Each structure stands twice: as C-alpha cells, then as structure tokens.
Amino acid sequence: MTEIAATERLYRTDSYAREMTATVLTANALHGNLEVVLDRTIFYPTAGGQSNDLGMLEGRKVLDVRGLKSETTVVHVLEGGAPLEIGSSVTGSIDWARRFDLMQQHTGEHILGQAFYRLEAHVIAVNMEREICTLDLEQTISEEMVLEAERTANQAIWAGHEIRCYEVHDSEISSVPLRRTPKVSGMIRVVQISDYDFSACGGTHLKNSSEVGMVKILRLERVKGGATRVHFICGERCLHDYRFKHEFAASLGLKYSTGVENVPARTEAMLEELTQSKRDLGNLRSRFAELQINAWLESDGSVIARELEDATLMNDLVKACAAKSGAIGIFGARVEGRAMLAIAVGTGANTNAGELLKIGLEQVEGRGGGKPDVAQGSGAKPEGLTAALEAMRQACG
Ligand SMILES: [Zn+2]
C-alpha cells in the first residue's frame, strides 16, 4: 500500500472557517458508512478532551471525525456507503453552532485553568465532551478558592484578551511560560491568551476571551488520589442554565406568593412544618389506634380478630395491641390483590405470634415471620383471608 499524503488541518490556522473545498484521498465503505480522508479539512477530530465537529460533506451527514495526533490523516465518517471518487473535489461545512459552543467551553477551560493555577491548584486532566465540562485539579480546594477562581476567570473573560495560536520547537519551548509541561515533542502548538495564559494545545479556540461570555462552576467532586474534579460550564450554556434555574425559582416564588429572594427561607420553613405535621400525624394515629383497640377489647374480649378496611393503620394497631397485657390482636387486610396478616400478642397472653401467624398463612398461601410478640406476613390468595382470621381466632381458644 502506498503511503497517502497528510490531511492539512485547516482548523489549526483558522478556527472560524465554516466551509471548505477539499480533494478526496481515500474513501472506503465500512459498516454501511463511508470513511473518507481528504487533503485538507476544517473538521476537528475528537482529541484533547474536545469533541469532534459534525456537519455535511458533499450533501451527506458527517457522523464522526477521527484523527489521532500521532496520525497524519483525519478520517470523516459519512452516512451511507455510496462511494466518492478518489481525486474528486468535495465541499463541506461544519455545524457552526456546535463548534462555537465547543470553543466557548474549551477556551473557558484554559481561562479557568489559569485562574486555579494562580491559586497553586494545577490542572491534571480535562473533559469537555459532555454537557457539563470538568477539569481535575491535583490539589484539594476550598469553597473560597472556587469563588476566587471563578471571579478571576470571569474578569479575564471580560478583559477582552486577544488569543493567538502559534508553533514553537521543543528546543525553544522553555522560553514560553507554559502552565503545563507539554505531552508532545517536535513542533509544539502554543495557545496564548494575551499575557494571561500560555498553554500547549491542539484544539480550537476563540479569537478573543470576551467571546467566552462567562464561566460558572457548578460543583466540586473528590476523585481518586486526592484530586478535585471541578464541574463547570461556559458561554451560552450558562444562559440556558440561568434561564432554567431562574424560571424554576420564579415559579416557586409564585406558588409561595413571595419574591424569589424569599424562596430558600420559605422552603426551609415548609420542610420544618412538614416534619412537625408528620410527627403530629404519627402521634394522632397512635392515639387513635389505642382508642380503637380499647373499644374492640371491650366488645370482642381479649382476642381481637378483624379485617381492616384501612391497611395503613395496621402497624399502629399492632403496636397498640402488643402494649395491652393479656390481649391478642389478629389483623388482616387486602392490599393490591394480596392478603396481609399481622399478629400482636400482649404480655401474659401465653401465645406465640409467629406460631399463630403460620396457621393463618396456610389459608392465604403466604409467607412471613416475626418475634413472639409481633409477626407479619402476606399471601397471594386474598379470598382465604376470612378463613385465615377465623382459623387463628379459634387457635387462641
Ligand atoms: Zn485548548
């Protein structure tokens, strides 16, 4: 196989080029798609934590773009296997909205990385391939550092720093004040944000820091080895995030009939009220169950065998009955096509709740268990519930 010429990566010299013409070097059908190598391209292949471009080539969708730094060519994966003639001229365009968004994230990452660097927190990894970007810092950082880095980064964005990309040979790279030691040798591409930041990077960047618009840190995460993962977004993603959160907060304010600024305090107060209400309800249920058990003991004698209409009261009734010395409570309920059984045995009643339950479970084809004073179970045969309650009542003599 003869070696093919390299793909000239046009995005390196002009990251704002949206359209191009190029010549087809190779075109191979693979898995129902066509893999095309061109002599030049504006399509960025996934690398360095930045996602690949999408777009159109000769009227066909570009599904993926691949090209390792170590390789000389960039592969464009086109939808469908229809061939392209070697040597023919093709036109292509990138999805500009996607690229601009990716450049906002990527350029913002450089700016935020420098802001942390000034606080002696060093970036060891980045990822901008998801909706929320991340950078990993070697150090543990405080909330104060987060606020300070966020402020520094946004001020650098608003300062309107000019951004330039150029190549320097590795023998002379020590003259450039790079923030991180480059991973490559030979010609090294430097991305310089005025006098604010110098980084070695092969990605696509904006021309001016002001185009990033804004950077917002969303949260921190501890990762392996004591590193800190910073989750952040830049540019228009901040606007979307702000819009969502503003509408959310405003709608809560409307519901509470108060201003947005009062929503946190109002929510806190409501949660406290809810906790108190749950406590009050629990107390009322216990009190109600106790009164109910007293009434049943009076009408039924010391053995109560009842099918409950409201199964949610079962636990409270069991508790109340188990607290009555000499009382035995046998409770049943039908819940979602199943038979529920519960037994409560008060002190001195001389009956084992678990043993008693077994008799009832036979009638409802059920399973369950418990302690000598309290036992519970359920079965798949609710039509056996009446017979189960009666069998257990009779077993108590
Ligand atoms: Zn970069």
Distance from residue 111's CA to the centre of ligand 1 (Å) = 10
pLDDT (0 to 100) of residue 225: 84
Distance between Cα 188 and ligand 1 center (Å): 12
Please give the pLDDT value at position 3.
55
Interval between CA 125 and ligand 1 midpoint (Å): 12
Q: Tokens in use for 205? A: 């960047």
Tell how far the Cα of 140 is from the centroid of ligand 1, in angstroms: 24
* 110 alpha carbon – ligand 1 mean position (Å): 6
Tell me the CA–centroid distance for residue 271 and ligand 1, in Å: 45
Per-residue b or e along 16-54, where b marks 16 or more CB atoms closer than 10 Å to that residue's CB: eeeebebebbebeeeeebbbbbbbbbbbbbebbbbbbbe
Q: What is the pLDDT of residue 68?
A: 66
25 Cα: distance to centroid of ligand 1 (angstroms): 28
Q: Pick the closest to residue 387 from 363, 366, 368, 355 (CA basis).
A: 363
Distance 206 CA to ligand 1 centre (A): 10
Q: Distance, CA 57 to ligand 1 centroid (Å)?
A: 26
CA of 201 to the centre of ligand 1 (A): 5
48: left (phi over 0), alpha (psi -120 to 50) or beta: left
C-alpha–C-alpha distance, residues 121 and 18, integer Å: 36
Q: Rounded to whole angstroms, how far apart are CA atoms 278 and 32?
A: 60
Q: What is the distance in A from the centroid of ligand 1 to the CA of 205?
A: 6
Task: For the beta carbon of residue 269, count every other beta carbon within 10 angstroms.
Answer: 12
Partnered with residue 65 across adjacent β-strands are: 76
Report the DSSP beta bridge partners of residue 123.
Answer: 137
DSSP symbols for 2-70: PPPPPPEEGGGT-TT--EEEEEEEEEEEETTEEEEEESEE-PPPSBTTBPPP-EEETTEEEEEEE--TT
> Could you tell me if residue 304 is left (phi over 0), alpha (psi between -120 and 50 degrees) or otherwise beta?
beta
Encoded tokens for 106: 């990527």
Give the pLDDT of the chain (397 residues) as one tens digit per residue. 445 578 999 999 999 999 999 999 999 999 999 999 999 999 999 887 889 999 999 999 999 999 866 678 999 999 998 999 999 999 999 999 999 999 999 999 999 999 999 999 999 999 988 999 999 999 999 999 999 999 999 999 999 999 999 999 999 999 999 998 888 889 999 999 999 999 999 899 999 999 999 999 999 999 988 899 999 999 999 999 999 999 999 999 999 999 989 999 999 999 999 999 999 999 999 999 999 999 999 999 999 999 999 899 999 999 999 999 999 999 999 999 999 999 999 998 889 999 999 999 999 999 998 899 999 999 999 999 999 999 999 998 7
Distance of CA 239 to the CA centre of its chain: 19
Give residue-wise pLDDT tens across range 205-214.
999 999 999 9
How far does the centroid of ligand 1 lie from the alpha carbon of residue 108, in Å? Answer: 9
Q: Which residues surround ligand 1, an ion (CB under 5 A)?
A: 201, 203
pLDDT of residue 4: 59
Instruction: Note the pLDDT of residue 23.
Output: 96
pLDDT for 181 equals 86
Pairing outcome for strands 366-370 and 338-345? unpaired
pLDDT at 397: 74
Q: Are 228 and 222 in contact (CB under 8 A)?
A: yes
User: Residues 6 or more apart from 380 whose CB is under 8 A from it?
Assistant: 337, 338, 339, 364, 365, 366
The pLDDT assigned to 1 comes to 45
Stated pTM of the model: 0.77
Q: How far apart are CA 253 and CA 387, in angstroms?
A: 55
CA of 203 to the centre of ligand 1 (A): 5
Around 356, how many Cα atoms within 13 Å sit in the side-chain half-sphere?
Answer: 30
Between the CA of 216 and the centroid of ligand 1 the distance, in Å, is 18
190, 168 in Cβ contact below 8 A?
yes
Distance 198 CA to ligand 1 centre (A): 10
Q: How far is the CA of 374 from the centre of ligand 1 (A)?
A: 66
The CA distance from 149 to 145, in Å, is 6
Of 315, 324, 319, 322, which Cα lies nearest the Cα of 294?
A: 324
Taking the centre of ligand 1 as the mean of its atom positions, its distance from the CA of residue 313, in whole angstroms, is 63
